[in-house]
Amino acid sequence: MKNLIGKAARFTLLAAITSLPGSPLLADEGRTLYMANEGLLVEHGDTKVVFDPLFRNDYGQYLLLPPAMETALFAGEAPFDGIDAVFVSHFHGDHFSPADMLNLLESLPELQLYAPMQAVVGMRSEATAAQQNVFARVHSVSLEYGDAPVSLTMPGLLIEAVRIPHSGWPTGRVDVENIVWRVTLDSAATVAHLGDADPNDVHFTNDAGFWADRPIDMAFPPYWFYGTATGREILDQRLRARRSVGIHVPIQIPGDPLQRPVELRDVDLFTNPGETRRIEHAD
Protein backbone atom coordinates (compact mmCIF):
# COMPACT_ATOMS: atom_id res chain seq x y z
CA MET A 1 0.00 0.00 0.00
CA LYS A 2 2.82 2.37 0.87
CA ASN A 3 4.26 1.92 -2.58
CA LEU A 4 0.95 2.65 -4.23
CA ILE A 5 0.57 5.92 -2.36
CA GLY A 6 4.09 6.91 -3.22
CA LYS A 7 3.50 6.19 -6.84
CA ALA A 8 0.27 8.17 -6.97
CA ALA A 9 1.98 11.12 -5.33
CA ARG A 10 4.78 10.96 -7.84
CA PHE A 11 2.36 11.00 -10.74
CA THR A 12 0.64 14.07 -9.31
CA LEU A 13 3.99 15.78 -8.91
CA LEU A 14 4.98 14.79 -12.45
CA ALA A 15 1.77 16.22 -13.85
CA ALA A 16 2.34 19.46 -11.97
CA ILE A 17 5.92 19.85 -13.09
CA THR A 18 5.39 18.97 -16.71
CA SER A 19 2.63 21.54 -17.04
CA LEU A 20 5.18 24.32 -16.49
CA PRO A 21 6.56 25.54 -19.80
CA GLY A 22 10.34 25.53 -20.00
CA SER A 23 10.86 23.65 -16.75
CA PRO A 24 13.88 21.33 -16.78
CA LEU A 25 13.51 17.69 -17.73
CA LEU A 26 13.06 15.25 -14.90
CA ALA A 27 15.88 12.76 -14.66
CA ASP A 28 13.56 9.96 -15.65
CA GLU A 29 11.89 11.60 -18.59
CA GLY A 30 12.63 11.57 -22.30
CA ARG A 31 12.48 14.26 -24.90
CA THR A 32 12.18 14.50 -28.64
CA LEU A 33 13.30 17.36 -30.85
CA TYR A 34 11.93 17.87 -34.34
CA MET A 35 14.53 18.30 -37.07
CA ALA A 36 12.61 18.34 -40.40
CA ASN A 37 10.22 16.13 -42.37
CA GLU A 38 10.65 12.79 -40.53
CA GLY A 39 13.93 13.74 -38.87
CA LEU A 40 13.86 13.50 -35.07
CA LEU A 41 16.21 13.45 -32.12
CA VAL A 42 15.05 11.30 -29.18
CA GLU A 43 16.85 11.23 -25.85
CA HIS A 44 16.45 9.67 -22.43
CA GLY A 45 19.14 10.02 -19.77
CA ASP A 46 22.49 9.68 -21.54
CA THR A 47 21.01 7.76 -24.46
CA LYS A 48 20.38 9.62 -27.70
CA VAL A 49 19.22 8.51 -31.12
CA VAL A 50 18.16 10.21 -34.33
CA PHE A 51 15.75 9.06 -37.04
CA ASP A 52 15.87 9.98 -40.76
CA PRO A 53 18.18 12.95 -40.14
CA LEU A 54 19.84 13.41 -43.54
CA PHE A 55 18.07 13.92 -46.85
CA ARG A 56 18.34 16.40 -49.70
CA ASN A 57 15.04 16.30 -51.53
CA ASP A 58 12.01 18.27 -50.37
CA TYR A 59 9.88 17.37 -53.43
CA GLY A 60 8.63 20.93 -53.24
CA GLN A 61 6.50 20.23 -50.19
CA TYR A 62 8.56 19.13 -47.19
CA LEU A 63 10.97 20.89 -44.88
CA LEU A 64 14.70 20.43 -45.23
CA LEU A 65 17.06 20.43 -42.26
CA PRO A 66 17.97 23.99 -41.17
CA PRO A 67 21.67 24.57 -42.00
CA ALA A 68 22.59 25.33 -38.37
CA MET A 69 21.07 22.04 -37.28
CA GLU A 70 22.98 20.14 -39.95
CA THR A 71 26.24 21.79 -38.87
CA ALA A 72 25.63 20.84 -35.23
CA LEU A 73 24.74 17.27 -36.21
CA PHE A 74 27.97 16.74 -38.17
CA ALA A 75 30.06 18.45 -35.47
CA GLY A 76 28.47 16.38 -32.70
CA GLU A 77 27.47 19.57 -30.91
CA ALA A 78 24.44 20.15 -28.71
CA PRO A 79 21.74 19.08 -28.96
CA PHE A 80 23.31 16.39 -31.13
CA ASP A 81 26.27 15.65 -28.87
CA GLY A 82 26.78 12.04 -27.87
CA ILE A 83 24.38 10.43 -30.33
CA ASP A 84 24.50 6.65 -29.94
CA ALA A 85 22.61 5.51 -33.00
CA VAL A 86 20.92 6.70 -36.16
CA PHE A 87 17.96 4.99 -37.81
CA VAL A 88 16.82 5.16 -41.41
CA SER A 89 13.24 4.28 -42.34
CA HIS A 90 13.67 3.80 -46.08
CA PHE A 91 15.66 4.82 -49.13
CA HIS A 92 13.70 7.78 -50.50
CA GLY A 93 15.21 11.18 -51.18
CA ASP A 94 13.11 12.95 -48.55
CA HIS A 95 14.38 10.57 -45.82
CA PHE A 96 17.87 9.44 -46.69
CA SER A 97 21.01 10.51 -48.55
CA PRO A 98 23.68 7.78 -48.83
CA ALA A 99 26.63 10.14 -49.33
CA ASP A 100 25.64 12.31 -46.38
CA MET A 101 25.16 9.30 -44.12
CA LEU A 102 28.65 8.06 -45.05
CA ASN A 103 30.04 11.48 -44.14
CA LEU A 104 28.17 11.51 -40.84
CA LEU A 105 29.57 8.10 -39.88
CA GLU A 106 33.04 9.36 -40.75
CA SER A 107 32.51 12.51 -38.66
CA LEU A 108 31.17 10.68 -35.60
CA PRO A 109 33.37 7.65 -34.93
CA GLU A 110 31.15 6.22 -32.16
CA LEU A 111 27.91 6.38 -34.14
CA GLN A 112 26.05 3.16 -35.04
CA LEU A 113 23.68 3.06 -38.01
CA TYR A 114 20.56 0.89 -38.35
CA ALA A 115 19.00 0.88 -41.79
CA PRO A 116 17.13 -1.28 -44.27
CA MET A 117 19.30 -3.29 -46.66
CA GLN A 118 18.22 -1.11 -49.60
CA ALA A 119 19.71 1.95 -47.93
CA VAL A 120 22.92 0.12 -47.04
CA VAL A 121 23.31 -1.08 -50.64
CA GLY A 122 22.95 2.55 -51.69
CA MET A 123 25.74 3.52 -49.31
CA ARG A 124 28.00 0.70 -50.54
CA SER A 125 27.71 1.97 -54.09
CA GLU A 126 28.69 5.51 -53.10
CA ALA A 127 31.38 4.80 -50.50
CA THR A 128 34.93 5.89 -51.24
CA ALA A 129 37.86 3.60 -50.45
CA ALA A 130 38.53 5.65 -47.32
CA GLN A 131 34.93 5.15 -46.16
CA GLN A 132 34.91 1.35 -46.27
CA ASN A 133 35.75 1.12 -42.58
CA VAL A 134 32.48 2.78 -41.52
CA PHE A 135 30.55 -0.36 -42.49
CA ALA A 136 31.73 -2.02 -39.27
CA ARG A 137 29.19 0.29 -37.59
CA VAL A 138 26.40 -0.26 -40.11
CA HIS A 139 23.69 -2.73 -39.13
CA SER A 140 21.29 -3.59 -41.89
CA VAL A 141 17.96 -5.29 -41.53
CA SER A 142 16.64 -7.23 -44.50
CA LEU A 143 12.95 -7.87 -44.12
CA GLU A 144 10.28 -8.97 -46.54
CA TYR A 145 6.64 -8.04 -46.05
CA GLY A 146 5.21 -10.50 -43.53
CA ASP A 147 8.56 -11.45 -41.99
CA ALA A 148 8.67 -11.69 -38.20
CA PRO A 149 10.02 -8.59 -36.43
CA VAL A 150 13.73 -8.56 -35.65
CA SER A 151 15.28 -7.50 -32.38
CA LEU A 152 18.75 -6.03 -31.83
CA THR A 153 20.48 -4.54 -28.83
CA MET A 154 23.33 -2.22 -28.00
CA PRO A 155 24.14 -0.53 -24.70
CA GLY A 156 21.16 1.59 -23.65
CA LEU A 157 18.99 0.48 -26.57
CA LEU A 158 16.54 -2.25 -27.44
CA ILE A 159 15.91 -2.00 -31.17
CA GLU A 160 13.02 -3.74 -32.90
CA ALA A 161 12.27 -3.57 -36.61
CA VAL A 162 9.23 -4.51 -38.65
CA ARG A 163 8.67 -4.08 -42.35
CA ILE A 164 5.44 -2.20 -42.96
CA PRO A 165 4.69 -1.32 -46.57
CA HIS A 166 5.19 2.22 -47.83
CA SER A 167 2.02 4.23 -48.40
CA GLY A 168 0.60 3.39 -51.79
CA TRP A 169 0.25 -0.30 -50.97
CA PRO A 170 -0.91 -2.56 -52.57
CA THR A 171 -0.43 -0.97 -56.00
CA GLY A 172 2.46 1.46 -55.53
CA ARG A 173 5.96 1.45 -54.00
CA VAL A 174 5.60 -2.14 -52.82
CA ASP A 175 9.32 -2.73 -53.48
CA VAL A 176 10.34 -0.08 -50.95
CA GLU A 177 11.77 -1.58 -47.78
CA ASN A 178 10.03 0.68 -45.23
CA ILE A 179 11.01 -0.14 -41.67
CA VAL A 180 9.06 0.75 -38.56
CA TRP A 181 11.58 1.07 -35.73
CA ARG A 182 10.37 0.49 -32.18
CA VAL A 183 13.19 1.63 -29.93
CA THR A 184 13.41 1.48 -26.14
CA LEU A 185 15.91 3.82 -24.50
CA ASP A 186 17.44 2.90 -21.11
CA SER A 187 14.85 0.11 -20.65
CA ALA A 188 12.47 2.98 -19.92
CA ALA A 189 11.10 5.06 -22.79
CA THR A 190 9.75 3.38 -25.90
CA VAL A 191 9.19 5.26 -29.14
CA ALA A 192 8.20 4.14 -32.62
CA HIS A 193 9.12 5.85 -35.88
CA LEU A 194 6.83 4.67 -38.66
CA GLY A 195 8.64 6.01 -41.71
CA ASP A 196 6.17 6.22 -44.58
CA ALA A 197 4.02 3.35 -43.36
CA ASP A 198 0.73 2.54 -45.04
CA PRO A 199 -2.17 2.95 -42.58
CA ASN A 200 -3.90 -0.39 -43.12
CA ASP A 201 -4.46 -2.67 -40.15
CA VAL A 202 -3.75 -5.80 -42.19
CA HIS A 203 -0.03 -4.95 -41.89
CA PHE A 204 -0.24 -5.00 -38.11
CA THR A 205 -2.51 -7.96 -37.41
CA ASN A 206 0.14 -10.62 -38.13
CA ASP A 207 2.32 -9.33 -35.33
CA ALA A 208 -0.48 -8.36 -32.94
CA GLY A 209 1.36 -10.02 -30.04
CA PHE A 210 4.57 -8.18 -30.82
CA TRP A 211 2.82 -4.82 -30.76
CA ALA A 212 0.79 -5.65 -27.65
CA ASP A 213 3.86 -6.75 -25.69
CA ARG A 214 5.48 -3.35 -25.50
CA PRO A 215 3.24 -0.28 -25.40
CA ILE A 216 4.72 2.78 -27.02
CA ASP A 217 5.19 5.92 -24.97
CA MET A 218 5.35 8.12 -28.05
CA ALA A 219 4.70 7.15 -31.66
CA PHE A 220 5.75 9.20 -34.67
CA PRO A 221 3.42 8.33 -37.55
CA PRO A 222 3.32 10.11 -40.89
CA TYR A 223 0.49 12.66 -40.63
CA TRP A 224 -1.77 10.64 -42.95
CA PHE A 225 -2.38 8.15 -40.13
CA TYR A 226 -4.71 10.75 -38.61
CA GLY A 227 -6.70 11.11 -41.82
CA THR A 228 -8.53 7.78 -41.47
CA ALA A 229 -10.28 5.99 -38.64
CA THR A 230 -8.13 2.95 -39.33
CA GLY A 231 -4.89 4.91 -38.99
CA ARG A 232 -6.02 6.27 -35.63
CA GLU A 233 -7.10 2.82 -34.48
CA ILE A 234 -3.70 1.37 -35.37
CA LEU A 235 -2.03 3.98 -33.17
CA ASP A 236 -4.42 3.53 -30.25
CA GLN A 237 -5.25 -0.15 -30.27
CA ARG A 238 -2.54 -1.92 -32.23
CA LEU A 239 0.56 0.09 -31.34
CA ARG A 240 -0.97 1.10 -28.00
CA ALA A 241 0.69 4.48 -28.25
CA ARG A 242 0.18 6.57 -25.11
CA ARG A 243 0.80 9.64 -27.22
CA SER A 244 1.74 10.42 -30.79
CA VAL A 245 3.11 13.31 -32.79
CA GLY A 246 2.65 13.38 -36.56
CA ILE A 247 5.62 13.85 -38.88
CA HIS A 248 6.17 14.23 -42.66
CA VAL A 249 3.83 17.22 -42.53
CA PRO A 250 3.69 19.16 -45.82
CA ILE A 251 4.64 22.84 -45.56
CA GLN A 252 1.12 23.83 -46.64
CA ILE A 253 -0.29 22.50 -43.35
CA PRO A 254 0.09 25.21 -40.68
CA GLY A 255 1.19 24.74 -37.10
CA ASP A 256 -1.98 26.44 -35.85
CA PRO A 257 -4.53 23.62 -35.47
CA LEU A 258 -7.47 25.88 -36.32
CA GLN A 259 -6.05 26.55 -39.76
CA ARG A 260 -5.47 22.90 -40.63
CA PRO A 261 -7.74 20.58 -42.59
CA VAL A 262 -10.48 19.46 -40.22
CA GLU A 263 -9.14 15.91 -39.78
CA LEU A 264 -5.83 17.30 -38.45
CA ARG A 265 -7.18 19.83 -35.94
CA ASP A 266 -7.31 17.53 -32.92
CA VAL A 267 -3.84 16.01 -33.26
CA ASP A 268 -0.29 16.97 -32.42
CA LEU A 269 2.00 17.58 -35.40
CA PHE A 270 5.62 18.60 -35.75
CA THR A 271 5.77 21.61 -38.04
CA ASN A 272 8.63 23.80 -36.75
CA PRO A 273 12.23 22.54 -36.67
CA GLY A 274 13.60 22.75 -33.14
CA GLU A 275 10.28 22.24 -31.35
CA THR A 276 10.30 19.59 -28.64
CA ARG A 277 7.99 17.28 -26.72
CA ARG A 278 8.49 15.58 -23.37
CA ILE A 279 8.24 11.81 -23.42
CA GLU A 280 6.61 10.59 -20.23
CA HIS A 281 6.75 6.90 -19.70
CA ALA A 282 5.24 4.31 -17.42
CA ASP A 283 7.56 2.78 -14.80
Q: Closest approach of Cβ 202 to Zn ion, in Å?
A: 19
Q: Closest approach of Cβ 92 to Zn ion, in Å?
A: 3
Q: How many CB atoms lie within 10 A of CB 254?
A: 13
In the bound state with Zn ion, the residue whose beta carbon lies nearer, of 172 and 254, is 172
Count of residues touching Zn ion (by CB under 5 A): 2
In whole angstroms, what is the distance from residue 222 CA to residue 202 CA? Answer: 17
In whole angstroms, what is the distance from residue 271 CA to residue 179 CA? Answer: 23
DSSP for residue 225: G
Q: Closest approach of Cβ 114 to Zn ion, in Å?
A: 17
In whole angstroms, what is the distance from residue 87 CA to residue 116 CA? Answer: 9
Least Cα distance to 161 among 175, 185, 178, 174 occurs for: 178
Q: Closest approach of Cβ 180 to Zn ion, in Å?
A: 13
Do the Cβ atoms of 74 and 68 come closer than 8 Å? no
**Rule CB under 5 A: which of 176-205 touch Zn ion?**
196
Q: Does 92 interact with Zn ion (rule: CB under 5 A)?
A: yes
In the bound state with Zn ion, the residue whose beta carbon lies nearer, of 100 and 280, is 100
Q: Closest approach of Cβ 222 to Zn ion, in Å?
A: 9
Do the Cβ atoms of 41 and 69 come closer than 8 Å? no
x/- string (CB under 5 A) for Zn ion, residues 116-155? ----------------------------------------
Q: Which residues bind Zn ion (CB under 5 A)?
A: 92, 196
